Structure 1
Amino acid sequence: MTSSKDDLRDPKFWRAVVGEFLATTLFVFIGIGSTCGWNPPYTPSMVQIALCFGLTIATMVQCFGHVSGANINPAVTCALLVTRKISFLRAFLYVIAQCIGAVAGAGLIYGVTPAGVRGGLGATSLGTGVAVEQGFAIEYLITFELVFTVFATIDPNRKDLQGSASLAIGIAVVIGHLFAIQFTGASMNSARSFGPAVIMNFWEDHWIYWAGPILGGITAGVTYEYLFSAKTTKDTISSCMLSRQDSELIEEKVSTV
């Protein structure tokens, strides 16, 4: 992991921050555009919305992966920070760029869409009868699934990976939407929820779309990195669960059996 000072001196760092802004702008613009209800009372199907979000994120990852890593999601960025893959400064500026990009994307789709078909502009909210704790659990779990997929597809130590990593990540987004649209709107991305919330001034239960995805993403990142990574050994597993001294004592006991 590079230090914050290293990041500040690297011109590619600033290009990466701008890349996160642009990728998130396009993702939110296209994604929430699929939720608009043309020719009312026409309502877009869950499949249409899920495919649009999933294919858009796959495309953005393909386009910006070499620029910034194509996080496009504070949950992914926070998971990378906690597992020490990026610096704090990079993570902080990525999240800021993602949030500004999401507001820009939501503002653009608001501006180019006729008032009669905007609807809620894709603002995420809990489904009928879904309790707050249930909504939090859904966002936590679907983001866990997404971020776990991200970590599994970028694992440099895996030798079995075939096909497109960006498409695998896109499919993970599709899965989350097909399952959870009716529960929570299937955000699994705090910036994606933040953009429409700002433009539409809709903040009901908004904290769920920060706490659920970020905690789910961090849990997924740590779980994969220390338990399921291709480089994981009994040493990394034991050091994750125990102190280093306890781990060494256990190894000594095992070796004497």
Structure 2
Amino acid sequence: MMSCITFFGVSPSSCCRRCWQRIMVAFKGVCTKPFWRAVSAEFLATLIFVLLSLGSTISWPASEGSASPVNLVLISLCFGLSIATMVQCFGHISGGHLNPAVTVAMVVTRKLSLAKATFYLSAQCLGAIAGAGILYLVTPSSVRGGLGVTMVNSNITVGHALVVETVITFELIFTVFATCDPKRTDQNGSAGLAIGLSVAIGHFFAVPYTGASMNPARSFGPAVITNSWDNHWVYWVAPLLGGVLAAALYEYLFCPNPVTKKPRGETLSKDASGKYQEVESPKSQPEDLAVKPGSCAEKGRNQDGRRPLLRSDLLNCHSVFSCFAFMGKFGFFPACLNVHQI
């Protein structure tokens, strides 16, 4: 009698062992100092961003001889410039996400591991709550107002709000991917400033409609402190949807010189002993990205004069070969045709 039940030649214990090995490899870096340094950076950056940005929404009474500071320009510039500043300060440590929509987009495009993304999302939400809580404590109740809680305008429907939030978050995430793409050689300006300006543009447009969240953590923080949850789900669904759409569109359509290898930095490789190990993909050096005038790369060919294999070529060749191999296996070809020689 068999010692254990097998399904398709694989025992349940073997499956569990392999899954456990994969989980342990995925969380291998959780106990390292750089990991928690990056998570702490996300917490601190989101805290400062939410604190400074929500502060621009407080309805302070206008003093004699000065105009009321609560206006669209002030709010938009404060949100945009605070994001630009935090990205510039913490970008080299954690990537400067400060936004669950950015983090999820990075996971979808395999630029960030699921384990690190889980801690990033937690740090961002906790940082937003802490920032909103500090603002609540230091602001008098007479001028506190709604503490910058994002709300859907009563003159539009929830469907309209979903579209608006999806569009402005799409614009933001597309800017993030386009300005932070290491394969671009035409970058001269500041990525942080470009991202901040995209946030400001979104606020200029969408504040009258939805309050211009573009960031689930930004809406989550004040909602927790004020216990205000009207249509709060909109500010999670729409930004995440817009972010994923923007990331996928840029990564697989607009990204210059797409490569055939996996873009994710943390992958799993099975060694000779049968255990899965974490493998770091090689980092591209600036000199590797430069194209010298008159070189084969400039002409679109390799050093041996042949055109490089593109992702589309690889997929097409693999798909055609697999199709012929499958058909030949079940006798769709004459016996004289050797499919493996195609």
Q: What is the TM-score when the length of structure 2 is the normalising length? A: 0.68
Partner of 1:213: 239
Q: Which whole-Å CA distance do the structure 2 matches of 1:216 and 1:238 have between them?
A: 30
Q: CA deviation at 1:163?
A: 1.1
| 1:149–1:168 CA contact under 8 A, matched in 2 | yes
Partner of 1:136: 162
Partner of 1:14: 36
How has the CA–CA distance of structure 1 residues 123 and 239 changed in structure 2, closer, same or farther, with 3 Å as cutoff? farther
How has the CA–CA distance of structure 1 residues 127 and 239 changed in structure 2, closer, same or farther, with 3 Å as cutoff? farther
User: Which of structures 1 and 2 has the larger relative contact order (alpha carbons within 8 angstroms, sep 6+)?
Assistant: 1
Q: Which sections of structure 1, spanning at least 5 residues, go unmatched?
A: 250-257
Local SS of the residue matching 1:204: coil
Question: Where does 1:213-252 land on structure 2 (aligned, <5 Å)?
Answer: 213-232=239-258, 235-236=310-311, 245=319
Give identity over the alignment, percent. 52
Question: Where does 1:118-157 land on structure 2 (aligned, <5 Å)?
Answer: 118-157=144-183
**Is 2:61 the counterpart of 1:39?**
yes
Partner of 1:63: 89
CA RMSD of aligned residues (A): 2.3
Local SS of the residue matching 2:135: helix
Q: Which whole-Å CA distance do the structure 2 matches of 1:200 and 1:246 have between them?
A: 58
How has the CA–CA distance of structure 1 residues 239 and 189 changed in structure 2, closer, same or farther, with 3 Å as cutoff? farther
**Is 2:118 the counterpart of 1:96?**
no
Partner of 2:217: 191
Partner of 2:134: 108
| Higher normalized helix content (fraction of residues) | 1
How has the CA–CA distance of structure 1 residues 243 and 188 changed in structure 2, closer, same or farther, with 3 Å as cutoff? farther
Q: Which whole-Å CA distance do the structure 1 matches of 2:233 and 2:189 have between them?
A: 36
Q: CA deviation at 1:127?
A: 1.3
How has the CA–CA distance of structure 1 residues 232 and 12 changed in structure 2, closer, same or farther, with 3 Å as cutoff? same
Q: CA deviation at 1:43?
A: 6.3
Q: Which whole-Å CA distance do the structure 1 matches of 2:164 and 2:311 have between them?
A: 30
The Cα offsets for residues 132-179 of structure 1, whole Å up to 9 and x where unpaired, read as 011011111100000000000110000001111100000000000000
The Cα offsets for residues 66-85 of structure 1, whole Å up to 9 and x where unpaired, read as 11001000000000000000
Which structure has the bigger radius of gyration?
2
Aligned partner of 2:48 among 23, 26, 42:
26
- Give the AA of the match of 1:11: K
- Give the AA of the match of 2:218: R
Q: CA deviation at 1:11?
A: 1.3
**Is 2:35 the counterpart of 1:4?**
no
Q: Which whole-Å CA distance do the structure 2 matches of 1:177 and 1:71 have between them?
A: 18
- Give the AA of the match of 2:87: V
Q: CA deviation at 1:238?
A: 8.1
Aligned partner of 2:77 among 51, 60, 64:
51
Q: Which whole-Å CA distance do the structure 1 matches of 2:191 and 2:92 have between them?
A: 13
Q: Which whole-Å CA distance do the structure 1 matches of 2:96 and 2:246 have between them?
A: 18
Question: Where does 1:149-168 land on structure 2 (aligned, <5 Å)?
Answer: 149-168=175-194
Q: Which whole-Å CA distance do the structure 2 matches of 1:243 and 1:192 have between them?
A: 46
Q: CA deviation at 1:129?
A: 0.9
Q: CA deviation at 1:186?
A: 0.2
Q: Which sections of structure 2, spanning at least 5 residues, go unmatched?
A: 1-24, 260-308, 324-342
| 1:21–1:101 CA contact under 8 A, matched in 2 | yes
Local SS of the residue matching 2:27: helix
How has the CA–CA distance of structure 1 residues 244 and 202 changed in structure 2, closer, same or farther, with 3 Å as cutoff? farther
Q: Which whole-Å CA distance do the structure 1 matches of 2:320 and 2:159 have between them?
A: 37
The alignment of Structure 1 onto Structure 2 pairs a total of residues equal to: 246
Q: Which whole-Å CA distance do the structure 2 matches of 1:247 and 1:221 have between them?
A: 30
Q: CA deviation at 1:130?
A: 1.2
